Amino acid sequence: MTDVARAAGVSTMTVSYTYNRPARVSPDTRARVLRAAATLGYAGPDPSARSLRYGATRTLGVVLGEHLTYAFDDPQAVRFLAGVAEVCAERGYGLLIVPTGAGDDDHDRVVAAAVDAYVVWTTTDDDPVLAAACSTRRPVVIHGGPERAGTTMVGIDNRAAARAVGVEVFAGARRPVVLSFPLDRNREMFVGSGIDPDSVAYPVTRDRLAGYRDAARDLGIDWSRVPVGVCRTSDEDDARTVMRHLVAAAPDLDAVAAMSDQLALGALREATGPLRVSGWDDSDVARQHDLTTVAQSLREQGAACATAALGDPVPDHRDAWRLVRRGSTAA
Amino acid sequence: MTDVARAAGVSTMTVSYTYNRPARVSPDTRARVLRAAATLGYAGPDPSARSLRYGATRTLGVVLGEHLTYAFDDPQAVRFLAGVAEVCAERGYGLLIVPTGAGDDDHDRVVAAAVDAYVVWTTTDDDPVLAAACSTRRPVVIHGGPERAGTTMVGIDNRAAARAVGVEVFAGARRPVVLSFPLDRNREMFVGSGIDPDSVAYPVTRDRLAGYRDAARDLGIDWSRVPVGVCRTSDEDDARTVMRHLVAAAPDLDAVAAMSDQLALGALREATGPLRVSGWDDSDVARQHDLTTVAQSLREQGAACATAALGDPVPDHRDAWRLVRRGSTAA
DNA sequence: CTGTTAGCGCTTTCAT
DNA sequence: ATGAAAGCGCTAACAG
């Protein structure tokens, strides 16, 4: 900038004004400055220097969980991100995706990112990435949980929703099972019975499991005998693998409550007989396969997270879900 | 930082070393500094100040086209982004999505973003956002095109691929049609005939159209009589609407070359009689519907773009496609 | 309408 | 192992 000023025969301030307050510079000088800039290949004020000066970056950080990869493969996470992006676009904020999960320096990356606030995608209570985001004292909004002092949480009441859909899918079933997201960050695939929701590290998964248990109780079903198949991701292929294990463990299974439409689809594909199935999210998949599911707008929640992170109030989302009854639980 | 230094009774340099070269500080002093930092709620060096000093941000910018929204709704764009993210994660770079398409200050946003390099998602020759990215003299890598001096282009040979798949889908057809992406940034939906590829603003669309025309010529089909249905996005619903118009205009149509699997699916759903159909990308949709298609890895191309933007050489991708023959063109 | 001064928070270089 | 000085590029505040 100093160079441009010299070349144009003005002070640096005039150059600065030319870019930031064009009205305060005479058209003549302005043209001269711009010409000098063009000659020197100067493209405008340096963004880092500007941020330093302003004390703000006009950038919103997003942490998509332990492995970036999972997030992009999960259509719901993508929807969520689209919501965040929408708000960023409207308000002229950059959207910085912080690259986590590729090393052991996640903490440093989160702390060292040039952002004004953080939106954190659902994670576990003990996720160091979450701790890192909170430690920077920037505003933090967490989607889905965990709740944490000093942060904002945006998400639906997963327990209530799971109970509602659980009652629907388990009704009349003699051998209900659950197809679950991972319980903790190890993301082990396995089949267990009567899993205690309180032992689950992901709040969203915990709440949904608790809701399914509530539903089982409502229907007089003994939760301790309900097999839970735990998948590594929200992936149809994962679901099929786990479903095969479930069928092996409980050949008479006749109802599956799945934590996503993708998982539900996997269950359908591996079904050996008549089967009641419920999904979650009311995605295209659910509509195509006539799946009973829980409708919620991840996109809207993403937008709400961004809005909250940028300091504006957002409505409570606890009741922003809806049970969608379809053919998959009609029999 | 100065405050922390004072509180710990050391110089600012010692605090700086504590964070950047822990080994060069005695464990004792280090502990003292860290304690002081904790007390004061200091979370480490300010990222903007650091970037200013280093002259680099360790952040890669991505411009997803005129409307951010379209990008997140397009599964191929998401795949591409996943590839970019993967490389960023590996190398500890942040991934900044620059929010374009929500106002007329796109140019400024691109110029003012704190990034070291840009990856630009396919756009038109005349996109001001592209011009903005290039004007900053940061390295720019463009996916799919346009080609531009001083930038790197990563993408397949769309014309050759379109010709190959076109020959496959148009073979034996009496009334072939094309289901196309938008021709220019206005994204009008319409049906035309014998569209001149050279009049198309998007290089990718231009090349594919030219390739389909090549295929028509190879088969002795008169291109000027081939209806082209232009969709607004790569969306199944869009495709259905346009397909209905095509059917109205050419009730005897019996072959559809579509520029994406999504569009091809829309065509299938609106088919009134036997129909040869080809898609593009070899996505899940193509596999599920036994669709002849062009396989390419957007994810791999995203990774290549990021790698190139970060200054490393990448192999040529022109031939990184493959014709996948399936039942949809078997008859 | 234009210029001067000061300092945002950090790290490189060169001492000690 | 620690520190002092200088400056990265910019803009708010206040002249003139």
* Distance from CA(B14) to C1'(D2), angstroms, rounded: 7
Cβ atoms within 10 Å, residue A126: 11
* Distance to chain B for A198, nearest Cα, Å: 32
| Calpha distance B293→A173 (Å, rounded) | 43
B324 touches B294 (CB < 8 A): yes
A79 neighbourhood in chain B, CB within 8 Å: 72
Cβ atoms within 10 Å, residue A31: 13
* Contact check, Cβ <8 Å, A92/B109: yes
Q: Is B202 helix (H, G, I), strand (E, B) or coil?
A: coil
- The low-confidence residues of chain A, meaning pLDDT below 70, are none
The rounded mean pLDDT for chain A is: 95
Indicate the pTM of the whole model. Answer: 0.95
Q: Spell out a b/e string for A128-161, using b for 16 or more CB atoms within 10 Å of the CB, else e.
A: bbbebbbbbebbbbbbbbbebeebbbbbbbbbbb
* Distance from CA(A53) to C1'(C7), angstroms, rounded: 9
Inter-helix orientation angle A12-20/A27-40, to 10°: 100
| Calpha distance A148→A35 (Å, rounded) | 53
Q: Is B142 helix (H, G, I), strand (E, B) or coil?
A: strand
DSSP B287-320: HHTT-BEEE--HHHHHHHHHHHHTT------TT-
Cβ atoms within 10 Å, residue A193: 13
DSSP A147-178: --TTSEEE---HHHHHHHHHHHHHTT-SSEEE
| Calpha distance B255→A325 (Å, rounded) | 38
What pLDDT is attached to residue B137?
87
Q: Which chain C nucleotides are covered by protein, judged by CB under 7 A?
A: 1-5, 7-13
Burial class, B252, CB count within 10 angstroms (exposed 0-12 / middle 13-18 / buried 19+):
exposed
Q: Where are the alpha helices (DSSP H) in chain A?
A: 2-8, 12-20, 27-40, 47-54, 68-73, 75-91, 106-112, 128-135, 158-170, 203-218, 236-249, 261-270, 284-288, 298-309
* Distance to chain B for A88, nearest Cα, Å: 6
Q: Is B167 helix (H, G, I), strand (E, B) or coil?
A: helix
What pLDDT is attached to residue B117?
98
- Residue B124, both tokens: 């038109």
Q: Spell out a b/e string for B177-211, using b for 16 or more CB atoms within 10 Å of the CB, else e.
A: bbbbbbbebebeeebeeebebeebbbbbbbbbbbb
Helix H or strand E encompassing B82: helix B75-91
What pLDDT is attached to residue B203?
97
Please provide residue B54's backbone torsions phi and psi, each rounded to the nearest 5 degrees: -70, -25
| Calpha distance B289→B299 (Å, rounded) | 22
Q: Does B112 touch chain A (CB under 8 A)?
A: yes
What pLDDT is attached to residue A68?
81
A114 neighbourhood in chain B, CB within 8 Å: 47-48, 51, 57, 59, 94, 114
Query: A-contacting residues of B 134-163, CB under 8 Å?
Result: 135-137
10-residue mean pLDDT series, chain B (331 residues) = 93 95 94 95 96 97 86 91 95 94 89 97 93 94 95 98 98 97 95 96 98 98 97 95 97 97 97 95 96 98 98 98 97 75
Give the number of A-B residue pairs with CB atoms closer than 8 Å: 138
Nearest to B68 among A48, A89, A111 (CB): A89
Instruction: Assess whether B2 (CB) lies less than 7 A from strand C.
Output: yes
Q: Which of A34, A51, A88 to mutate to test the interface with B (most CBs of B within 10 A)?
A: A51
B94 neighbourhood in chain A, CB within 8 Å: 96-99, 109, 113-114
Q: Spell out a b/e string for A240-257, using b for 16 or more CB atoms within 10 Å of the CB, else e.
A: bbbbebbbeebeebbbbb
Instruction: Identify protein residues whose C-beta is within 7 angstroms of any atom in strand D.
Output: A 1-2, 12-13, 16, 19-20, 44-46, 49-50, 52-54; B 10-14, 17, 24-26, 28-29, 49, 52-53, 55
What pLDDT is attached to residue A67?
81
B45 neighbourhood in chain A, CB within 8 Å: 112
Helix count (H) and strand count (E) of chain A?
A: 14, 12
Query: A-contacting residues of B 50-89, CB under 8 Å?
Result: 50-52, 57, 59, 68-69, 72-73, 78-79, 81-82, 85-86, 88-89
Q: Domains, chain B, ranges and CATH?
A: 2-45 (1.10.260), 59-154 (3.40.50.2300), 158-295 (3.40.50.2300)
Q: Which residue has the least CA–C1' distance to nucleotide C11? A: B53
